[in-house]
Amino acid sequence: MALTKEAERLDVPFQFNPVVSRLDALDVESLRGLSPKVMVVAEQEASHNTPGLTERFVEALNYYAALFDCLEVGAARGSVERARVERWLLGEEIKNIVACDGAERRERHERLDRWAARMEGAGFGRVPLSYYALLQARRAAQGLGCDGFKVREEKGTFFLCWQDRALFSVSAWRGRRFD
């Protein structure tokens, strides 16, 4: 695991406990039991949870157009890996966002400002990511080998962008109730 190796290289104590769960099934007690010092959350920076189909469709069109543009630059046309990403990952997400509603719709991405309010309401406080982490993130984006990827920092949160479109947000949180 890259994080573990990096922590060892820097001689920093590190423990990683992934929590893999749907948000609606997340057990807060399982989080408390882990006694986290910091939680890092990476989330798609898109608004796919609006009730109106037109709004979801337009948002999905713009968001996934940027992702497909990334693939165009970074993955060879006709490659098996690219086809899998396009069909089984992005295609299924798009289909769910546009064609499903109610309990059938699983893809309900929200922008950072919306779910950050929920995190704060649940007793979490934001922890700004460090300048060193920003440099590392920018170095990783440059390592992808194309000029389209950028890392933007706003108030201690990072946004991985394609051109000027934020695709993912990365933020750190500390549970006020866990301390």
Percent of the chain scoring above 70 in pLDDT: 96
10-14, 105-109, 145-149: range with highest mean pLDDT = 105-109
Residue whose entry in the numeric block shows the structure tokens 């898109």:
46
pLDDT digits (tens, 9 = 90+) for 88-144: 899 999 999 999 988 898 888 999 999 899 888 888 899 999 999 999 899 888 887
Measured distance CA(89)–CA(137) in Å, rounded = 24
pLDDT digits (tens, 9 = 90+) for 48-98: 998 889 999 999 999 999 999 988 887 888 889 889 999 989 999 999 999
Residue 99 has a pLDDT of 92
Residue 106 has a pLDDT of 87
> SS3 for 59-84, per residue?
HHHHHHHHHHHHHHHHCCCCCHHHHH
Radius of gyration of the chain (CA): 18
Model confidence band, residue 23 (pLDDT cutoffs 50, 70, 90): low
Calculate the alpha carbon distances from 13 to 16, 38, 170 in Å: 10, 13, 21
Measured distance CA(85)–CA(92) in Å, rounded = 10
Measured distance CA(51)–CA(175) in Å, rounded = 30
Model confidence band, residue 37 (pLDDT cutoffs 50, 70, 90): confident
Q: Report helix angle 53-74 to 92-99, nearest 10.
A: 170
pTM (predicted TM-score): 0.81
Measured distance CA(4)–CA(32) in Å, rounded = 22
Whether the pLDDT of residue 151 is over 90: the answer is yes
The answer to whether 123 touches 177, Cβ cutoff 8 Å, is yes
Model confidence band, residue 177 (pLDDT cutoffs 50, 70, 90): low
